[in-house]
Structure 1
């Protein structure tokens, strides 16, 4: 099943959403910070509210993530785990991966080198 939904902050940030098998794949594009975090929180919450608890974030187009963005992802992880699912991060660029390493958040997410590796066969 494929579904496309885009939320946007003009020229700054958007989230592409689609369903691939049992996974809800979200692709944040741009800078995830305190100004744009709600644009990611909304589709994460929507997916979880609709019973999709296996969330995959394709981070290959994410240019930046601050602590507010990280908190949105941590909140989604707690909800997904409670529902028997999880949050998988894929294709993180070095600048984004560094935020997760510094904070230790990389230890609480399942991290994959690529989107393909994050999707079950």
Structure 2
């Protein structure tokens, strides 16, 4: 089951906090996720609201390049169940399931060509927003 869908916004590290504040105000949202991804030299934050959720990915332009082709991030309750549904729907899995600082992820190319990341957060304690 899909739990939340995020549009992705890419920023330089120095404007992450300002970008979070902007989307919190614009969406009347809350910071629902914030974590460092040291293996990729990125920091991620999510601002969630009833109408829209935004995943903000901060890092240098060079470090963001591998992530920019992915248009959406969709949080699901179970990756294996979603993978089965996607494969039945003619989507192509682009990578095996990988571990992240807050759970697991994989990417698919949908029939229309859109690249989407699917995630499940297996450790709820990891999704508690950090103080800035």
TM-score w.r.t. length of structure 2: 0.31
Larger strand proportion of the pair: 2
Larger helix proportion of the pair: 1
Give the number of the structure with larger relative contact order, counting CA–CA contacts within 8 Å between residues 6 or more apart.
2
